[in-house]
């Protein structure tokens, strides 16, 4: 038995076949899950994630076996922990893909190859653009288009998100200088809030570009608040002191707390698309949707419905009193040039006189 890390233990067992190894791994998980009584009558519960591999089927070299056991442990943790997972050949392939993706992402960020697209945000009539949300998009020459749901978390894990976030913000402010009267919304991740000074970054970019602070909106999700509430509160207040508005994105998707809305003083509430998607379906959540809108209006927040794809969804949100509507019904994300053309077609027509 060995202890390769602070909370990691490794066991080498001879003479077991696949069934015996599986039974041993499961037994370790169950034994470690039993309550432990410590001094003072306190009962402690712990869980363990176990990964296992069998030689020579899974490798006949020590380093190969150790690496593959670690992959199995990582899979057990990814699945929620508290279970035993056997190494499978596809784990090697997944690791290879991840490393290739990580290397490609590092090169793309260093070269500034992550694109910025803009999705129009419309007024309640659906005829006039009032804002745009900046969205990061990436297409690698070899790997092809990569979903933001994949490369944004990877950028957070690898420490690339501060530089990537700064690039997106800088480009968005530069492009939006050509769109007078149009607000620009930029997403900020938990890593940017908790492992950096987003207030300093935003302040520097505003000064560098000369962009009016009141036209910039920073969007954050509830995960930012859960990670470190005190830190988040300080950063949010700092942003508002710059004159920037702060929006709570995807409200209702996670651990929604009404306390957050009051405590952090958000300027805008963006309703999670899950509520909007259900409109007109058997799982219709219009009652909850109406309550969220009413709550936001009572707190004098701007209310935005996102993910709107149908006329019925648009009608419901408009009738409920949403100030802004966003979704594919009006437009998919556009390049800066395309957005300029879209904007020209959705400006109010000046009265003759």
Q: What is the CATH number of the domain that holds 26?
A: 3.30.70.270
Both 131 and 81 in one domain: the answer is no
Q: What is the CATH number of the domain that holds 124?
A: 3.20.20.450
Pair 50, 29: CB distance under 8 Å? yes
Residue 194 lies in a domain: yes
Boundaries of domain holding 18: 2-87
Q: How far apart are CA 152 and CA 250, in angstroms?
A: 16
Residue 352 lies in a domain: no
Residue 350 lies in a domain: no
Both 236 and 114 in one domain: the answer is yes
Q: How many CB atoms lie within 10 A of CB 274?
A: 13
Residue 213 lies in a domain: yes
Residue 225 lies in a domain: yes
Please determine, for residue 318, whether its predicted confidence score (pLDDT) is greater than 50.
yes
Domain count within the chain: 2
Q: How far apart are CA 28 and CA 26, in angstroms?
A: 5
Share the mean pLDDT of the chain. Answer: 88
Among 49-53, 125-129, 221-225, 309-313, the range scoring the smallest mean pLDDT is 221-225
Both 183 and 211 in one domain: the answer is yes
Pair 131, 121: CB distance under 8 Å? yes
pTM across the whole model? 0.77
Name residues whose C-beta falls within 8 Å of residue 303's C-beta, 6 or more positions apart in sequence.
Answer: 268, 269, 271, 293, 296, 297, 321, 322, 323, 324
Q: What percent of the chain clears pLDDT 70, i.e. is strictly above it?
A: 95
Residue 27 CA, chain-centre distance (Å), reads 37
């Amino acid at each position: 038995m060995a202890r390769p890390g602070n909370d990691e233990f490794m066991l080498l067992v001879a003479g077991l076949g696949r069934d015996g190894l599986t039974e041993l791994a499961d037994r370790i998980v169950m034994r470690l899950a039993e309550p432990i009584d410590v001094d003072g009558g306190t009962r402690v519960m712990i869980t363990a994630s176990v990964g296992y591999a069998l030689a020579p089927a899974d490798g006949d070299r020590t380093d190969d076996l150790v690496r593959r056991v670690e992959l199995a442990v990582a899979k057990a943790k990814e699945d929620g922990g508290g279970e035993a997972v056997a190494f499978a050949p596809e784990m090697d392939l997944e690791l290879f893909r991840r490393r290739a993706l990580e290397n490609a992402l590092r090169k793309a960020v260093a070269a500034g190859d992550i694109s910025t697209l803009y999705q129009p945000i419309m007024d309640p009539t659906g005829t006039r653009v009032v804002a745009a949300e900046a969205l990061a998009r990436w297409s690698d020459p070899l790997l092809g288009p990569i979903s933001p749901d994949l490369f944004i978390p990877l950028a957070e894990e690898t420490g690339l998100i501060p530089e990537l976030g700064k690039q997106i913000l800088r480009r968005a402010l530069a492009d939006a200088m050509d769109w007078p009267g149009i607000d620009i919304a930029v997403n900020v991740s938990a890593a940017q809030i908790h492992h950096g000074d987003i207030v300093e970054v935003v302040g520097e970019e505003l000064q560098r570009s000369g962009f009016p602070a009141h036209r910039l909106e920073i969007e954050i999700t509830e995960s930012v608040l859960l990670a470190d509430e005190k830190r988040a509160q300080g950063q949010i207040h700092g942003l508002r002191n710059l004159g920037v508005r702060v929006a709570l994105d995807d409200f209702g998707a996670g651990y929604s707390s009404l306390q957050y809305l009051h405590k952090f003083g958000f300027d805008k509430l963006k309703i999670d698309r899950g509520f909007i998607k259900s409109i007109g379906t058997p799982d219709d959540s219009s009652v909850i949707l109406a309550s969220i809108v009413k709550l936001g209006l009572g707190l004098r927040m701007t209310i935005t419905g996102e993910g709107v794809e149908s006329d019925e969804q648009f009608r419901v949100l408009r009738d409920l009193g949403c100030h802004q509507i966003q979704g594919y019904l009006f437009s998919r994300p556009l390049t800066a040039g395309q957005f300029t053309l879209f904007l020209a077609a959705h400006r109010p027509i000046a009265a003759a006189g």
